[in-house]
Amino acid sequence: MTSTNKIKVILFSVFVLFVVAWVVTGNVSQASGDSIDVDTSTMDMIASANPDDFVGSETCKACHEDQFKKFVGTKHAKLGEVASWKDKAQGCESCHGPGKLHVDGGGDKTKIITFVGKNSKQISETCLGCHAGKESHNNFRRGEHWRNDIGCTDCHSSHGTFKNNMPSSITEIGETTVQNPGIANVALLKQSEPQLCIGCHTETKAQFAKPFHHKVLEGAMKCSDCHNAHGGFESKQTKLSVGADASCIKCHGDKQGPFAFEHAPLKTEGCSSCHTPHGSANPKLLSRNSVRQLCLECHSNLNDVEGGAPQTPHNQTQTRYLSCTVCHTRIHGSNASRLYFR
């Protein structure tokens, strides 16, 4: 037999052994009770599972006592008390899948859904199996957090926290509702706002330290008053109702149009064309240190031509023309004057 034929025989033998090993391994796996596929949708698994496959959270407590102590007081643990969730909520097994095989296997981790080693998007998909139906969460996959691999468990603790040890880690975001009778609407945040947000958004914390700023660090308002952390169609995940500056108009209602005479930058670019929303060294959160300087960025034709006739009645060498809003008092928009005089 030539050396070439010997090589072919060896390669064929290796291939046959590989196929046999693959078939045998597959049969053994099936015979041993079917290993849990961690990529299977948890909701689909629960829906198709036999009721006898669920062992209950009290069984989980026997080995996972620390997690159970945190979990038992959370909204997740009490969903079974809500009529609309009674047949769907399974405690620990709502996220980890049916636990019978895991228990019968002596805690075999291949027989239960675990999240160790999964990336943020994979973990978030499990959360969205239930939470995607909420209006505030519908656009999570469109948001900047999703695009930057920030997942649900980067901000939330699904098991909850010890309230007596970490009182600031639980943030109330609403009262009891008809849908959730007797159960407080708890966000299960790892930290309270704004500490949770500025842990990543450090540049924003620096802006809040400027002389003129929104009172977020002082506790007068929260990041979520203006931003939707769960995503949306707007840049910076600002909350949208009507118009790009809905978050601003919610408090500054007197600046809301429509006006008969609209100030073009406000209409096309929004409040941030003149203001810096988090903080500024200038009064009224202006992006420039004087109103005149800010106006001249667009209205540059108001400057005089040195040695010649002024292009407009605004003579910039005279003090009375140095503050635009002395005359143009309705700079955000007017129903009476196209020059925003009143």
CA 318, distance to chain mean position in Å, is 51
- Range in 4-13, 54-63, 294-303 the model is least confident about: 4-13
The set of residues, in sequence order, having a beta carbon less than 8 Å from that of 327 and lying 6+ positions away, is 341
Residue 207 backbone phi and psi in degrees, to 5: -65, -35
Judge whether 185 and 172 are in contact, CB under 8 Å. Answer: yes
The set of residues, in sequence order, having a beta carbon less than 8 Å from that of 278 and lying 6+ positions away, is 204, 207, 208, 213, 214, 216
Query: How long is the chain?
Result: 342
- As a whole number of angstroms, the distance between CA 41 and CA 49 comes to 12
Residue 3 pLDDT: 60
Q: Give the predicted TM-score (pTM) of the model.
A: 0.69
Residue 6 pLDDT: 62
- As a whole number of angstroms, the distance between CA 233 and CA 239 comes to 9
- As a whole number of angstroms, the distance between CA 61 and CA 78 comes to 16
Per-residue pLDDT of 229-263, as tens digits, reads 888 777 778 875 444 567 788 888 888 878 899 88
Comparing 322 with 106, which gets the higher pLDDT? 106
The CB-based long-range contact list for 190-195 (8 Å cut-off, 24+ gap) reads 190/155, 190/156, 190/157, 190/161, 192/168, 193/222, 193/223, 193/224, 194/222, 194/223, 195/168
Nearest to 334 by CA among 271, 260, 252, 253: 260
pLDDT at 87 over 90: no
Judge whether 152 and 159 are in contact, CB under 8 Å. Answer: no
- As a whole number of angstroms, the distance between CA 234 and CA 244 comes to 7
Nearest to 286 by CA among 340, 206, 210: 210
Per-residue pLDDT of 177-228, as tens digits, reads 334 333 233 578 888 888 889 999 999 999 999 999 999 988 888 898 888 8
Nearest to 22 by CA among 33, 10, 14, 34: 14
pLDDT category at 303 given cuts 50, 70, 90 is: low
Q: Return mean pLDDT, the chain.
A: 76
The set of residues, in sequence order, having a beta carbon less than 8 Å from that of 73 and lying 6+ positions away, is 160, 163
Q: What letter represents residue 180's amino acid? A: N
